[in-house]
Structure 1
Amino acid sequence: MRARPARRPTKPLMNRARKKPRRMPLVLRFIKGSIHGDILLPVIIHALFAALIVYVDDFTPYTPHLPGSITSSLSIVVGLLLVFRNQSSYARFWSGQNDLTTICTNIRNLTRSFLTCNYNSKGPGPTPAERAETEAAIHTLLAIIYAVKNTLQWEWEHSVGAPDLEDSGSGSLKPELRELLGPKMSQTYEFEGLGLPIQLTMSIEAYIKRSHDRGWFHSPQASQLSVQLNSLVAAYGTMETIRLTPIPVAYLIHTRQVLALYGGVLPFAFVESMQWWTVVIVSLITFTLYGIEAIAYQLEEPFGYDKADIKMDDVIEDLRIEVSVLLREWQENAPMFGRH
């Protein structure tokens, strides 16, 4: 039997690919990537409560027993609540991932069109100033996804959003944005309520208009480029909605209270038949239920820094590498752009 080849990420998408194979089975992982630390306290509390009920049953004249039908009825409610909780949370995560992919796809398409069609086949080639303008447009496209990330993760320099500070221009940008946009970004308007991603799309729309007027893009093509830009903005708007619309707090409160109630009733149903094994059974059940709820809690905010969140930094870095290679080859008049 042939040995299974080692998994190695290919050069494209290398940051999103798994860096190394798992060395430990997932069933044995209790710290890295798991939610055990988040649910340890409630599991311990329920185990201690179960031990108290068993102690009362064994060493006092009281018999704290309840019929098993009560837990059966509650289990249906708990199951429905957790199913809805996880479905809604994963839907937010999946939608955020798809919207990020939509933004990357549109940036790829716009980059391809800008670099391939930035000349009029019936006239002279682009001037150095026009080539510099195209290069700046590509940098602006790449800056859009950085700005989306910074906005969704609330990553701004301290001077952004503070109109009383003297430096409210390009010096207030994050370093990666300042490197891409350079001194031409004279002012940002975040402290006035205009997000930087939207401001940058205005520059791209203006570039499309100027390119159409020069004859680089015919009207249907320019219209399609604007559609792609609109799709990019729409995806960003959906990501904003996910970021700014949390799960209703009333639902979160009720879910936690139902879990606590269910975990509190379990010892009364098991103590008569299981005795001290009740502590083990209650611990396992509460570990399972609180773990499912904790996973949903992580997934409902997909743009953070948790292990389970969308790897936005890796996605952006892969896109930056792609766009940088295309821009470098375009500067060297590579045959892929059809100029030869």
Structure 2
Amino acid sequence: MVQYNPKDWITFIFRFHKADTFRQLLPMMLFIGLYSYGIGYLEMEYFKLSETSHVKNISIMHGMLGFVISLLLAYRTNTAYDRWWEGRKMWGSLVNNSRNLAIKLSVILKDEHDRNFFRKTIPSYASILNKHLKNEETGLMLFDGLDLKIDHEKHRPNQIAKMLFQKVNDMYSSGKITGDQLIILNNEIQSFTDVCGACERIKNTPIPYSYSAFIKKFIFFYVMTLPFGYVFSLGYYVVPVVVFIFYVLASLELIAEEIEDPFGNDENDLPTKKISENIKRHIEEIL
């Protein structure tokens, strides 16, 4: 995730980060500029259309549709940000749940072998969930001294949750914890699976294809018809104006595409790897 100072807003104008949409859209902006110049040349130099030409009235359509496209893009970006923020809340819950489980175990457990198991296994859930959401392959050994024996053909976070509950249940069977303590620890472990399910729902449920495709087509045809009407009032200045309008509209769509899946490897995605490392450090401190 990009780190920046939100108060130092002047530098944003003159600095182009690699996550900025300007670089991604530059080839298309050049094409739009040449296209607008070509339309302007044909209308003013080749066909020599007059001010009374009906082509000039095309700009009325853009005025009517401008409000519609602004609503669509506002809804698009808000929906994408909601998905990003929900993902952040889920990982915040995972941090708190991991701490709560570790704090309770640090008081309950007296056997150092049991404490060592949870010291390594609890952070493993966050680490594997991070890689599970990124669809990365993991090794059998995530932490030194802990053989997880994971079957990569199965749901990996579920296997870690099963190991945690199996250990808690074994401690109950051996009399190391009481029934009340078993219920308390069970609720904490169950919360891990709840977080995993919520993140998978975000990951596996993209914005409906028809909606996303319609916005892209709308932006494309809206921008491609802009030069026809505005050439009469702007002349060749229509080139930078149309390019700028395309940059604004397309950038909003690109930003929405990037943040709607907050568990990827884009610059603005959630730092889930860093969060999982923080969880590991906190659990080791507690246990």
TM-score by length of 2: 0.89
- 133-142 vs 23-32, which deviates more? 23-32
Corresponding position of 2:25: 39
Q: Distance in 1 between matches of 2:2 and 2:37?
A: 46
Supply the AA of the counterpart residue of 1:148.
Answer: L
Q: Where in structure 1 are there 5+ consecutive unaligned residues?
A: 1-14, 119-125, 158-171, 328-340
Q: Distance in 1 between matches of 2:3 and 2:57?
A: 52
Corresponding position of 2:90: 99
Q: Which fold has the larger relative contact order, with Cα–Cα distance below 8 Å and residues 6 or more apart in sequence?
A: 2
Corresponding position of 1:188: 150
Q: Where in structure 2 are there 5+ consecutive unaligned residues?
A: 50-54
The structure-2 alpha-carbon separation of the partners of 1:17 and 1:267, relative to structure 1 and needing over 3 Å to count, comes to: closer
Q: Distance in 1 between matches of 2:262 and 2:168?
A: 33
Supply the AA of the counterpart residue of 1:82.
Answer: L
Higher helix share: 2
Say which of 72, 90, 93 aligns to 2:63. 72
Supply the AA of the counterpart residue of 2:134.
Answer: Q
The structure-2 alpha-carbon separation of the partners of 1:247 and 1:17, relative to structure 1 and needing over 3 Å to count, comes to: closer
Q: Distance in 1 between matches of 2:2 and 2:19?
A: 17
Does 2:136 align with 1:155?
yes
State the 1:290 CA deviation.
0.5
SS in structure 2 of the partner of residue 198 of structure 1: helix
State the 1:110 CA deviation.
0.6
CA RMSD of aligned residues (A): 2.5
Supply the AA of the counterpart residue of 2:133.
Answer: L
State the 1:237 CA deviation.
0.8
State the 1:31 CA deviation.
3.2
Question: Over residues 221-259 of structure 1, what are the superposed CA-to-partner deviations in whole Å (9 max), with x where a residue is unaligned?
Answer: 432321222121011011112112222222222111100
Question: Over residues 59-107 of structure 1, what are the superposed CA-to-partner deviations in whole Å (9 max), with x where a residue is unaligned?
Answer: 1225343343200122122112211211221111111111111112111
| 1:91-240 alignment, distance < 5 Å | 91-118=82-109, 126=110, 130-157=111-138, 172-173=139-140, 175=141, 177-179=142-144, 181-182=146-147, 185=148, 187-191=149-153, 194-213=154-173, 217-240=177-200
Does 2:74 align with 1:83?
yes
Q: Distance in 2 between matches of 1:24 and 1:292?
A: 20
Q: Once superposed, which parts of structure 1, at least 4 consecutive aligned residues long, lie more than 6 Å away?
A: 15-19, 21-24
Preserved CA contact (<8 Å) 1:16 1:318: no
Corresponding position of 1:289: 249
Does 2:272 align with 1:312?
yes
SS in structure 1 of the partner of residue 144 of structure 2: helix
Q: Distance in 1 between matches of 2:66 and 2:103?
A: 55
Q: How many residues align?
A: 281
Q: Distance in 2 between matches of 1:25 and 1:39?
A: 21
Report sequence identity in percent: 22
Preserved CA contact (<8 Å) 2:80 2:260: yes
TM-score by length of 1: 0.76
Q: Distance in 2 between matches of 1:272 and 1:77?
A: 24
Corresponding position of 1:61: 47
The structure-2 alpha-carbon separation of the partners of 1:18 and 1:314, relative to structure 1 and needing over 3 Å to count, comes to: farther
